[in-house]
A and B are shown apart, each in its own frame.
Chain A
Amino acid sequence: MLNIRSPDITPLVSLTNAGVRRNGRWLVRGVEFSISRGEIVTLIGPNGSGKSTTAKTAIGVLKPDEGSVERAAGLKVGYVPQKLAVDWTLPLTVERLMTLTGPLKGREIEEALASTGMLHMAKAAVQHLSGGEFQRALLARAIARKPDLLVLDEPVQGVDFSGEIALYELIKQIRNRTGCGILLISHDLHIVMAETDTVVCLNGHVCCRGTPQAVSQSPEYLKLFGRRAAGALAVYSHHHDHTHLPDGRVLHADGSITESCFPGDGHHHHDGAENVHDHDPDCGCGHHTRLHGYESAEKRDA
């Protein structure tokens, strides 16, 4: 064919200075990132930092109040929302859940369920599933429609530590097999999926971004997580040039305090030398010490 075009050149979705406002308050502002085919972007940040809002804006559920969001034409999205409760009055089996938003062939349903290890539960009512089973059923539903972009809002919630590792391995396989782009939202501020290409740390705006550091490179981490987990997880070090104060104001590295924080305010040095911000206990970012991440991981394991 003459019409040769590399699919990697145009991103599936790209956000430019995107912001969403509700009731006069900015939920999130100045967000910039893009996802291409085969790429994994992980959003992290404390509760209420606008992770879900950002993801919903990226896939068009929410409209940006400023900035712009561009999606590839005919973009097919597979979405696993953060909260999904199926009312008991709705009789819904796992199998029926699969075709919720579009028709599928029987073979496609079986393949997707088999890949998440849920094939044996096909006839079970979704209300009878455990948290981890339900997440795997939702993931199967999202991948069965062969999306260009898979959006997973805290897919490892309600899943224990070894389940989390298994899910990350599964997500990696899905990416490798289908080449789809993945937008992952993580509840953990320090431990992210190892395959992540870009980590975006949000707290009402983009606090910092970067690539995670492989756990397997550090013997200490290896000891802490075990060999299997070390292959699936990576550690993300934050490099902030500002601190979020408890009252919502922002203390910048240059000592000034502003009401809010977004790239246009002139206090940021994202392109300059790295400003590592010290994590004092009052830090509004919610990631006090790096140890915090291990603790939560171990608690989940227990």
Chain B
Amino acid sequence: MLDDFFIRALVAGVGIAMVAGPLGCFVIWRRMAYFGDTMAHSALLGVALSLLLELNLMVSVFIVASVVSLLLLFLQKRGALSTDALLGILSHSALSIGLVIVAFMTWVRIDLVGFLFGDILAVSEADIDIIWGGGILVILALVYLWRPLLASTVNPELAEAEGLKPERARLFFMLLMALVIAIAMKIVGILLITSLLIIPAATARRFATSPEIMAVLASLIGALAVTGGLFGSLHWDTPSGPSIVVAALALFVLSLLPLGRPGRASHSSHGGH
């Protein structure tokens, strides 16, 4: 039953989950879920442009997602509209422009559902190389940026005052997000990438006592969700993206149950007194 394409999807998916874990923690801590969504939605515009201009798909998606995040930074600085209104405008217009361009290109046949919800059949060996190569790059960058990113998450002015560079860290963080979206798109799909970032991190929160532990746990939980989801996808012939999200949700719900850590939560809150 374990065909080559499935092994490829599994290796790729676990690679993505490893990167999505720590990145997803920052998305939660910095309350950037909607921002991640906006970048992911703009990926379809990247897909359309890659077809139109015959560019590499991942490169094209990475560039479009980066441009959208920079555009958001610029518009935020101008301060005319609130961030969530700007995100709403950017998110849905990027998605719609992508869909419209694709509709105009009658000469290409494109599996829209595959792009939106992920397609495990689409993973090639070259994709795996990119995912693991890019993934290791993202992890290394995160390790390097960890302190300024974490400090500016707690308070950007504090980070700035004490000699870290929060603006630079934020910029790199956005580029890392764009990179992860570009490499994760094929497995999870454009519409569901954010959930792979957020749900494992949210699940990890309950068991974590430090930011670092939470990041590692989120990676492991994500890998578990990807594995479970892909097996389910294969078994029931469901699209891979939603199957992975359902598996991640199942783990999240399990983490909410008051089993596992009897009395720990209440103990720790009074432990200091």
- Whether B157 pairs with A89 at a CB distance below 8 angstroms is no
A91 with B213: CB separation less than 8 A: yes
Interface stretch of the complex, out of B105-113, B125-133, B147-155, B222-230: B147-155
Q: Are B210 and A101 in contact (CB under 8 A)?
A: no
Q: Is A2 an interface residue (CB 8 A)?
A: no
Do A128 and B157 have beta carbons less than 8 Å apart?
Answer: no
Choice from A61, A91, A97, A124 contacting B161 with Cβ under 8 Å: A61
Which residues of B are at the interface with A, using a C-beta cutoff of 8 A? 28-29, 31, 147, 150-151, 153-155, 157-164, 202, 205, 208-211, 213-214, 268-269, 271-272
Residues 125-143 of A contacting B (Cβ, < 8 Å): 125, 128
| Residue A273 at the chain B interface, CB threshold 8 Å | no
Take A123-B271, A124-B271 as given contacts and tell me if A102 and B147 are in contact as well, using a CB distance cutoff of 8 Å: yes
Cβ-defined contact, B214 with A91, below 8 A: yes
Determine if A101 and B162 form an interchain contact, defined as CB atoms under 8 angstroms apart.
Answer: yes
Q: Does A77 contact B (CB under 8 A)?
A: yes
Nearest CB of B to A152, in Å: 12
Task: Please tell me if the beta carbons of A78 and B157 are within 8 angstroms of each other in the complex.
Answer: no
* A145 and B272 contact, CB distance less than 8 A: no
Min CB distance, A149 to chain B, in Å? 10
Question: Are A101 and B157 closer than 8 Å at their CB atoms?
Answer: no
A90 touching B160 in the complex, CB below 8 Å, given contacts A121-B272, A123-B272:
no
A170-194 contacts to B, CB under 8 A, are: none
Q: Which partner residue on chain B sits nearest A52 by CB separation? A: B157
What separation, in Å, do the CA atoms of A81 and B160 have in the docked complex? 11
B208-A91 in contact (CB<8A): yes
B154 with A86: CB separation less than 8 A = yes
Closest residue on chain A to residue B205 by CB atoms = A89
Is the CB–CB distance between B209 and A91 below 8 Å? yes
Interface 1/0 per residue, A138-157 and B, CB below 8 Å:
00000001000001000000
Residue of A nearest to B269 (CB): A128
Classify the interface of chain B: helix, strand, loop or mixed: helix
Q: Is the CB of A87 within 8 A of B29?
A: yes
A residues in contact with B209, CB < 8 Å: 91, 93
A120 adjacent to chain B (CB < 8 Å):
yes
Q: Which of B154, B158, B164, B271 contacts A92 (CB 8 A)?
A: B154
Question: Could you say which residues of chain A place their CB within 8 Å of the CB of B150?
Answer: 100
User: Is A214 on the interface with B (CB-CB < 8 A)?
Assistant: no
Q: Is A91's CB under 8 angstroms from B210's CB?
A: yes
Q: Is A56 at the interface (CB under 8 A from chain B)?
A: yes
Contact with B along A55-88 (1 / 0, CB 8 A): 0100111000000000000001111010010110
Q: Is the CB of A101 within 8 A of B29?
A: no
* B residues less than 8 Å from A56 (CB atoms): 157, 161
Known: A77-B163, A89-B28, A101-B151. A84 touches B272 (CB 8 A): no
How long is the Cα–Cα vector from A18 to B163 in the complex, in angstroms? 21
A60 touches B161 (CB 8 A): yes
- Does A290 count as interface, using CB distance less than 8 angstroms? no
Asked if A78 and B162 sit within 8 Å, CB to CB, the answer is yes
Which residues of A have CB within 8 Å of B161? 56, 59-61, 77, 79, 81, 151
> B151 contacts A100, CB within 8 Å?
yes
Q: Is the Cβ of B155 less than 8 Å from the Cβ of A84? A: yes
Check: A96 CB closer than 8 A to any chain B CB. yes
A-B contact count (CB 8 A): 77
Q: Which residues of A contact B160 (CB under 8 A)?
A: 60-61
Cα separation A101 to B160 with both chains bound (whole Å): 10
Q: What would 29 A/B residue contacts be, using CB atoms closer than 8 Å?
A: A61-B157, A61-B160, A76-B163, A77-B162, A78-B162, A81-B161, A84-B155, A84-B158, A87-B31, A89-B28, A89-B29, A89-B205, A90-B29, A90-B154, A91-B209, A91-B210, A91-B214, A96-B210, A96-B211, A97-B154, A100-B147, A100-B154, A100-B158, A101-B159, A101-B162, A125-B268, A125-B269, A145-B162, A151-B161
Query: In the complex the two chains form, is B162's CB within 8 Å of A84's CB?
Result: no
User: A123-B272, A124-B271, A128-B272 known; A93 and B210 CB under 8 Å?
Assistant: yes
Q: Which residue of B lies closest to A84 (CB)?
A: B155
B191 shortest CB reach to chain A, Å: 23
A128 nearest CB neighbor, chain B only: B269
Give the residues from 105 to 135 in chain A that come closer than 8 angstroms, CB to CB, to chain B: 120-121, 123-125, 128
Closest chain A residue to B207 by CB distance? A91
Is there an interface contact between B157 and A79, defined as CB atoms closer than 8 Å?
Answer: yes
The reply to whether A124 and B163 form a contact with Cβ atoms under 8 Å apart is no
Residues of B within 8 A of A102 (CB): 147, 162
- Shortest CB-to-CB span from B206 to chain A, Å, is 9
What is the CA–CA distance of A121 and B271 in the complex, to the nearest angstrom?
A: 8
Chain A, residues 219-255, CB within 8 Å of chain B (1/0): the string is 0000000000000000000000000000000000000
Instruction: Give bound CA distance, A61 to B150, whole Å.
Output: 17
**Complex contact A91–B269 (CB within 8 A):** no
Residue on B with the closest CB to A125?
B268
Do A101 and B211 contact each other (CB < 8 Å), given the known contacts A61-B157, A81-B155, A92-B154?
no
Which residues on A sit within 8 Å (CB–CB) of B31?
A: 87
Contacts of A120 in B (CB 8 A): 272
Q: Closest approach, in angstroms, between the C-beta of A80 and any C-beta of chain B?
A: 8
